[in-house]
């Protein structure tokens, strides 16, 4: 048994939505854990990232994520940590030389701010993003800078996968297009996997959307990771969905202009290089 395709990133670029859409296709079986991080296990353990994400490092445990496989189904998984770490592409290639790679990319300025705000809501960071960018003395600076800034430096990361797998085996899609028409983008990915379109996919459910509460105490309690885990263990999903609908609403992020300007300066050369390599129009990513 070999996994056939991998959604490798980028973080905060719609990979959770794409994972769920593809998992509804009759000819696809996605891993029961969305981000097993199997091929980046060494890197994540070495860095000891503050997320404390689940890491599956034993091949038998990894294979068990696909135990529901039916005949002729393609196996897929989505671990956004795979894009950044340079050794992962080679590990996947050694595991399955015929693997297909799917990469979702978002305007790196928006991605950085979205990622930062997610971590702030979860209680992982308290410093302002502008201070993290400009002050290397900030505690955990190297990890924060990696997560918010370096993960958006796509050119070298994408080139690495193209060099290892070849252009025909790497599908690069844009978050902008996912937002415009999630069905159209998903069908392009399905075509890339050489499968037929499937009418049984529900495109109306939002996944991993940014939410915030009008109640300060609720936002504070949400930053406590031990409390989030306890609640997930105790309460049924139906009750959690109800509470989320009552206490949280979709959050519209408004980035300070000076921070936005600095981020566009940081990424301007990267965007030009990526645009030229992929031969696509990235005008929306430019100031």
For 205-252, the pLDDT digits (tens) are 777 655 554 555 655 454 445 554 666 667 565 665 556 666 555 666
Domain that holds residue 218: 211-250
Residues 93 and 224 in one domain: no
116: helix, strand or coil: helix
* Bridging pattern class, strands 74-78 and 28-30: parallel
| 200 & 216 share domain | no
Same domain (yes/no): 215, 161: no
Do residues 182 and 62 both lie within one domain? yes
The parts of the chain modelled with pLDDT lower than 70 are 69, 208-233, 235-252
Domain-located, residue 39: yes
Q: Domain with 40 in it: what CATH number?
A: 3.40.50.300
Note whether residue 167 is domain-resident: yes
Which SS3 state, helix, strand or coil, does residue 175 take?
helix
Contact status, residue 88 vs residue 43, Cβ threshold 8 Å: yes
Please indicate, yes or no, if residue 11 is contained in any of the structural domains: yes
Q: Are residues 216 and 181 in the same domain?
A: no
Residue 244 lies in a domain: yes
Could you tell me what percent of the chain has a pLDDT over 70?
A: 84
Q: What tokens does 79 get?
A: 């671990």
Are 82 and 18 members of one domain?
yes
74 Cβ neighbours under 8 A, 6+ residues apart: 4, 5, 27, 28, 29, 193, 195
Q: How many angstroms separate the CA atoms of 45 and 57, rounded?
A: 10
Is 24 within a domain?
Answer: yes
67 vs 227: CA distance, rounded Å = 31
Residue with tokens 């039916």: 70
Residue bearing tokens 């991998």 = 6
Calpha distance 123→220 (Å, rounded)? 8
Q: How many domains does the chain have?
A: 2
pLDDT at 228: 47
DSSP states along 33-88: SS---GGGHHHHHHHT-TT-------HHHHHGGGTT--TTPEEEEE-GGGTTSTTH
CA distance 17 to 23: 10
Shared domain check, 244 and 169: no
Determine, yes or no, domain membership for 126: no
Q: Within this chain, do residues 45 and 182 fall inside the same structural domain, yes or no?
A: yes
Do 70 and 184 share a domain, yes or no?
A: yes
Global pTM reads 0.85
In a domain, 142, yes or no: no
Are 48 and 167 found together in one domain? yes
Residue 255 falls within a domain, yes or no? no
Q: Do 9 and 25 lie in a common domain?
A: yes
pLDDT of residue 254: 85
- Closest C-alpha among 214, 259, 262, 222 to residue 240: 222
Q: Are residues 92 and 160 in the same domain?
A: yes
């Amino acid at each position: 048994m070999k996994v056939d395709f991998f959604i490798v990133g980028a973080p905060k670029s719609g990979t959770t939505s794409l994972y769920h859409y593809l998992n509804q296709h009759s000819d696809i079986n996605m891993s029961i854990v969305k981000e097993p991080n199997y091929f980046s296990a060494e890197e994540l353990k070495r860095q000891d990232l503050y997320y404390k994400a689940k890491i599956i490092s034993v091949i038998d445990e990894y294979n068990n994520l696909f135990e529901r496989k039916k005949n002729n189904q393609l196996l897929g998984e989505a671990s956004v940590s795979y894009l950044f770490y340079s050794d992962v592409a080679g590990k996947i290639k050694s595991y399955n030389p015929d693997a297909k790679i799917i990469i979702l990319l978002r305007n790196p300025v928006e991605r950085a701010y979205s990622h930062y705000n997610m971590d702030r809501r979860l209680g992982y960071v308290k410093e302002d993003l502008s201070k993290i960018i400009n002050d290397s003395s900030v505690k955990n600076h190297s990890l924060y800078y990696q997560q918010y800034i370096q993960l958006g430096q796509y050119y070298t990361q994408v080139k690495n996968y193209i060099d290892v797998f070849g252009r025909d085996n790497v599908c690069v899609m844009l978050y902008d297009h996912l937002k415009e028409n999630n069905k159209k983008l998903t069908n392009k990915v399905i075509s890339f996997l050489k499968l037929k379109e499937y009418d049984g996919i529900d495109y109306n459910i939002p996944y991993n959307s940014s939410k915030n509460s009008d109640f300060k105490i609720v936002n504070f309690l949400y930053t406590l990771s031990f409390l989030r885990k306890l609640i997930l263990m105790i309460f049924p999903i139906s009750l959690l969905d109800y509470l989320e609908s009552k206490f949280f609403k979709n959050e519209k992020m408004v980035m300070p202009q000076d921070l936005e300007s600095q981020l566009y300066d940081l990424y301007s050369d990267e965007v030009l290089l990526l645009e030229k390599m992929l031969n696509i129009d990235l005008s929306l990513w430019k100031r």
